[in-house]
Structure 1
Amino acid sequence: MEPSRCSTTTLFRQEGVGGITYRIPALLYIPPARVLLAFAEKRSSVDDTDALYLVLRRGEKVDHSVQWGPPEPLMSATLPGFRTMNPCPVWERKSRRVFLFFICVRNHVTEQRQICSGKNAARLCFVSSSDHGRSWSPIKDLTDEVIGEEVEHWATFAVGPGHGVQLQSDRLVIPAYAYHFSRWHCLGTFFRSRPRSHSLMFYSDDLGATWKHGQLFQSGVTTECEVAEVMNSNGLSVLYCSARTSGRCRAEAFSTDLGEHFEKPSFVQELHEPPHGCQGSVVSFRPRRGLLQEEAPAISSHPKSLVSTLGPEQSLTPPSSWLVYSHPTSRRHRINLGIYVNQAPLEAARWSQPWIFHRGPSGYSDLAILEEGWFGCLFECGEKHEYEQIAFSLFTDQELLSHTGEKCSGPSNVQ
């Protein structure tokens, strides 16, 4: 397949200066139908507190392009007196059902107000679709069922934003974060610790019928996150998490129990964060046979915690999955959206140099794996501000390697 020219289509555009604004992209590809679902928040202004409801555009991949339908409001994904935020979709392949997770937050209650007061105003909700996003079920509120009394120790929480994943085991995983605090009683007075942010996962092992949540990450510095499953050639599943921080670089963590627990996050110095951080996206894919050389490099520099978990023989096995990551590349501003590739996901510091996918203001993004070497990226961008529009682009694996300066390498029996 010859590399194609990267084309960009604006799917959502701000209406006037400071008017209706679309933010927080989430992208899902449905393989059997070759359908893309592009979600965003519709807001009455740029502010988080002015979020209204979610909107959707359905696209059909035809040859080397996508034909997009008109914007559609998702009014079934609403609760009276709440605003709908943080779309996080996942495709369940056995039931052929789309689950769209999101949070509903009490109108005009800011995240900072929840953190300062310790009083959560968010609800964990989802809707589902069995016809590739043409129609949606009534909303279901899972807060009491899934979080229960623990929510009293969560100042606030959110899912994603971006996509969830279905693992080889069929487990559905929705990435999330919570601001957790401890409360204790002493001499007639109640005290509360300062809430700290921890990433975590919501998951289902029965095709979405019931849901649970995993353990909070050990380090209280990670917030918005996405996950991708990496399979080495021994068939061992490792769940990779990329998480937002305010520490000028990205955090990553690994799980060997399908997302219930993660090793302590480590910081990736070559993946920059702007001040206060920014959401980013990560996906895993199995490289095509034509993209690979016959010889594969051995893995020899796993993080110590992962080596001890996998064992010495498994730790030297080359992975059969690569990672692709999108995020603004500057340490100072949300500008210059970059696409990175990692051909050895279980090694430390193996990210490529970024392909500058969009020059200028850029913010949140979401990646999707299509088929036959194609990728999609839905991202915030603009000329003066990153929230002026949400755009979509297609690109190929060959373009990715060409622009990141990576050579093709990997196990020759991977298809």
Structure 2
Amino acid sequence: MKHLCFLITLLAFDSAFAEPFIDKQDLFVVGEDPAYQLYHIPGIVVTAKGTVLAWCEARKRAAGVSDWDDIRILLRRSTDEGKTWSAPKSIAAVDGPKAKNPFALVMKNVDPNDVTYNNPVLIADKDGTVHMLFCLEYMRVFYQRSEDDGLTFSSPTEITACFDVFKKDYDWKVLATGPNHSIQLKTGRLVVPVWLSTGTGGNAHRPSVTATIYSDDKGKSWHAGDIAVPCTDEWINPNETVAIELNDGRVMLNVRSESKVHRRLITTSKDGATGWSTPKFDDALLEPICMGGIVRYNHDGKSLILFSNPHNLDKANGKPEPGKNRDRKNVSVKLSRDEGQTWPVSKSIEPGPSMYSDLAVTHSGTILCFYGRSGDGSALAHFAGGRLTVARFNLEWLTAP
């Protein structure tokens, strides 16, 4: 018994003083599969059983129509905390005839025969189920589920009707879920951020507002919440949004926008659906007009919030300037010890061109950041980068000077 106690103490001592580490692995690289010329919209989640699921949009063309391109949703799985990965697999398909969104067809270079699957969102249920939502042509939404850790998914069920409730407040013509992973609350409620647009502005994605949909019956039915962030002169085109449950049970949304102050927007709700607080800008979180990632870190008695996005500072003085520095570069991870009130730790993962990102934490406490980047100069440094990469690192690396 003494030897066992000594071993436990030794292991605890070792874990408390773990060596910092970080390693990176490309999961999707332009040129490796001739069918796709661009990979974008990365998402990552760790299931209740510990499997890591990483997914993205695989697009047929590298430029031009882009968001309205011929797009498939690809998934890779890891059963060893992100060290090795399965081959990519397409995981979204809707049977029957498909019509292009009319608001896409008014734009140049859009092929009416292309099929656009877009904005996948996965949720790891505590009971082991993996819930998935995705969109078709930015105007229809589908739900499916996996009972085998992402190996297979059920046939998709259309849930677009729940979005009709939003039309009393906002007459949307274009919609999208997430993207990124989303969350299950302690109550069991599934919460998914969404954005809605009238489709009359740039790329038929603007103007836009942010809201959530939710399910209280394990995904069988979905309901619309309140508009969380409207589009105003101050809060310009809120759209791609991530969510996290705070320790007091409230849900906090962290929102992308095109606002002039160059900061992320924050709003909270007691139930993740209604009664959203007045949105406010977080001075510590820069906004280059790009998706970000957020996740809870619960290990070794610590309950932290991690956030990732391109942290782009002014070259001359090292400070952000309102309305400037919108280049997507320097994807960084920040840490909050006080439920998102302050972010005293920030660490760069990719100083060069780097774009969309998502975060997950494995059962052993390894942090995973799945993000787009231009790589070693061999790929484009455009809005999506030439590859999607998983960075694996520990808390010691993140918090080291």
Provide structure 2 residue ranges, at least 5 long, that are not aligned to the other structure. Answer: 1-14, 99-114, 200-204, 313-324
Shift of 1:50: 1.4
Alignment of 1:91-102 (within 5 A): 91-94=124-127, 96-102=128-134
Q: Which position in structure 2 is the counterpart of 1:324? A: 306
Q: Distance in 2 between matches of 1:249 and 1:149?
A: 26
Among 363, 382, 385, the residue aligned to 1:371: 363
Shift of 1:273: 1.6
Q: Is the 8 A contact 2:242 2:255 kept in 1?
A: yes
Q: 1:147 is paired with a residue of what secondary structure? A: helix
Q: Distance in 1 between matches of 2:39 and 2:337?
A: 34
Shift of 1:19: 5.8
2:353 paired with 1:341: no
Q: Distance in 2 between matches of 1:148 and 1:257?
A: 18
Shift of 1:28: 1.4
Give, as a single letter, the amino acid of the residue that structure 2 aligns with 1:28: V
**Change in 2 beyond 3 A, CA 1:213/1:101:** same
Q: Is the 8 A contact 2:21 2:396 kept in 1?
A: no
Q: Which position in structure 1 is the counterpart of 2:179? A: 161
Q: Which position in structure 1 is the counterpart of 2:188? A: 170
Q: Which position in structure 2 is the counterpart of 1:210? A: 221
Q: Which position in structure 1 is the counterpart of 2:147? A: 130
Which shifted more, 14-23 or 51-60? 14-23
Q: Which position in structure 1 is the counterpart of 2:386? A: 388
Q: Is the 8 A contact 2:194 2:241 kept in 1?
A: yes
Q: Which deviations, in whole Å up to 9, do the C-alpha atoms of 1:303-360 show, x marking residues without a partner?
A: xxxxxxxxxxxxxxxxxx421000001133100101001111263xx11252011121
Q: Distance in 2 between matches of 1:286 and 1:35?
A: 17
2:73 paired with 1:54: yes
Give, as a single letter, the amino acid of the residue that structure 1 aligns with 2:326: R
Q: Is the 8 A contact 1:251 1:267 kept in 2?
A: yes
Which shifted more, 206-215 or 253-262? 253-262
Q: Is the 8 A contact 1:219 1:264 kept in 2?
A: no
Q: Distance in 2 between matches of 1:201 and 1:131?
A: 27
**Change in 2 beyond 3 A, CA 1:8/1:146:** same
Shift of 1:197: 2.0
Shift of 1:180: 5.7
Q: 2:372 is paired with a residue of what secondary structure? A: strand
Among 222, 229, 243, the residue aligned to 1:227: 243
Shift of 1:179: 2.3
Q: Distance in 2 between matches of 1:390 and 1:396?
A: 20
Q: Which position in structure 2 is the counterpart of 1:201? A: 212
Give, as a single letter, the amino acid of the residue that structure 2 aligns with 1:133: G
Shift of 1:148: 5.4
Cα RMSD after superposing both structures: 2.4
Q: Is the 8 A contact 1:214 1:261 kept in 2?
A: no
Alignment of 1:278-317 (within 5 A): 278-289=290-301
**Change in 2 beyond 3 A, CA 1:20/1:279:** same
**Change in 2 beyond 3 A, CA 1:10/1:211:** same
Shift of 1:138: 1.1
Q: Which position in structure 2 is the counterpart of 1:263? A: 277
Q: Distance in 2 between matches of 1:74 and 1:223?
A: 24
Q: Is the 8 A contact 1:52 1:83 kept in 2?
A: yes
Which shifted more, 350-359 or 164-173? 350-359
**Change in 2 beyond 3 A, CA 1:136/1:197:** same
Q: Is the 8 A contact 2:212 2:272 kept in 1?
A: no
Give, as a single letter, the amino acid of the residue that structure 2 aligns with 1:102: F
Q: Which position in structure 2 is the counterpart of 1:272? A: 286
Q: Distance in 1 between matches of 2:25 and 2:86?
A: 12
Q: 2:154 is paired with a residue of what secondary structure? A: coil
Which shifted more, 210-219 or 157-166? 210-219
Shift of 1:80: 4.3
Give, as a single letter, the amino acid of the residue that structure 1 aligns with 2:134: F
Q: Distance in 2 between matches of 1:155 and 1:75?
A: 22
Q: Which position in structure 2 is the counterpart of 1:37? A: 53
Identity rate, percent? 24
Among 258, 261, 280, the residue aligned to 1:246: 258
Shift of 1:124: 1.2
**Change in 2 beyond 3 A, CA 1:49/1:219:** closer
Q: Which position in structure 1 is the counterpart of 2:112? A: none
Q: 2:257 is paired with a residue of what secondary structure? A: coil
Q: Distance in 2 between matches of 1:159 and 1:19?
A: 23
Q: Which position in structure 1 is the counterpart of 2:117? A: 84
**Change in 2 beyond 3 A, CA 1:135/1:266:** same
Shift of 1:287: 4.6
TM-score of the superposed pair, with normalisation by structure 2: 0.77
Shift of 1:31: 2.9
Q: Distance in 2 between matches of 1:103 and 1:85?
A: 5
Q: Distance in 2 between matches of 1:137 and 1:207?
A: 14
TM-score of the superposed pair, with normalisation by structure 1: 0.75
